[in-house]
Amino acid sequence: MRLSPIFRTLFYSVSNLGRFRAPTSTHFATLRPLPLRSMSGIPFIGALFGSSSSKSSSNMTYPDQRTDDEWRAVLNKEQFRVLRKQGTEAPGSGTFDKHYPSEGVYTCAGCAAPLYKANHKFKSGCGWPAYFDSIPGAVTRHEDRTLGMLRTEIVCSNCGGHLGHVFKGEGFDTPTDERHCVNSVSLNFSADDKPVAKESKA
């Protein structure tokens, strides 16, 4: 579905919900911080190996345990808002929205873990970078039940940084019929098509 600029701006207020659902007040959900960190102190090892499981966000911890203050020291304001406070960038505004390299790797803008390969990316027209799959284990899903709706939030498995949401069954002609709707702000890109282990702190 192609959206005119004006409609797309309006659509932003219901962004990330999915292309075919009725407008609601989901915009506020994207601004609401989620309790990503657990107090248990037990690293969630499974997050490193399973990319398709849905977990509650209430008891997750990640290998990279930096505090908000530590993140503020290495992220710019917008990166901190999106990655650490579940923010959403304006549609069509992101560096990687219309970025279609033939090879390369998109890494986490927070911890540099490799997340998506160039050949996972597809044109969705939704205004954010869209991927039909991730590097195995790189992305962790959890249920986002804010405002009484069920969405699937995706975060970096290494640092818990907010990437966006994943939507299923929209009818895109991709191998998975899934759309990882990711904020460009949450990503960096490396033209070197080798997700090297040294970049992952896992």
The CB-of-158 to Zn ion minimum distance in angstroms stands at: 5
Report the residue number, 18 or 161, with the smaller CB distance to Zn ion.
161
User: Is 159 near Zn ion (CB under 5 A)?
Assistant: yes
CA distance 36 to 151: 15
The CB-of-198 to Zn ion minimum distance in angstroms stands at: 14
User: Is 156 near Zn ion (CB under 5 A)?
Assistant: yes
- Using CA atoms of 173, 178, 184, 187 in order, give the dihedral in degrees to the nearest 10: -120
User: Is 109 near Zn ion (CB under 5 A)?
Assistant: no
The CB-of-164 to Zn ion minimum distance in angstroms stands at: 13
Instruction: Please choose, from the candidates 30, 18, 11, the residue with its C-alpha nearest in 3D space to the C-alpha of residue 146.
Output: 30
User: Is 110 near Zn ion (CB under 5 A)?
Assistant: yes
Report the residue number, 26 or 200, with the smaller CB distance to Zn ion.
200
* Part in contact with Zn ion (CB under 5 A); list of ranges 4-12, 71-79, 151-159, 193-201: 151-159
Q: Which of 127, 161, 164, 195 binds Zn ion (CB under 5 A)?
A: 161
The CB-of-64 to Zn ion minimum distance in angstroms stands at: 6
CA distance 178 to 170: 7
Torsion over CA: 5, 100, 81, 78 (sign): negative
Report the residue number, 111 or 118, with the smaller CB distance to Zn ion.
111
126 labelled catalytic: no
Contacts of 122-126 spanning 24+ positions with Cβ under 8 A: 122/172, 122/174, 124/172, 124/179, 124/181, 125/1, 125/2, 125/3, 126/19, 126/91, 126/179, 126/181
User: Helix, strand or coil for residue 144?
Assistant: strand
CA distance 145 to 151: 6
> By rule CB under 5 A, what count of residues binds Zn ion?
8
Choose, from 108, 111, 156, 181, the residue flagged as catalytic: 181
Instruction: Please choose, from the candidates 174, 170, 182, 71, the residue with its C-alpha nearest in 3D space to the C-alpha of residue 116.
Output: 182
User: Is 61 near Zn ion (CB under 5 A)?
Assistant: no
The CB-of-173 to Zn ion minimum distance in angstroms stands at: 30
Instruction: Kindly list the catalytic residues.
Output: 181
Name the site residues for Zn ion (rule: CB under 5 A).
108, 110-111, 113, 156, 158-159, 161
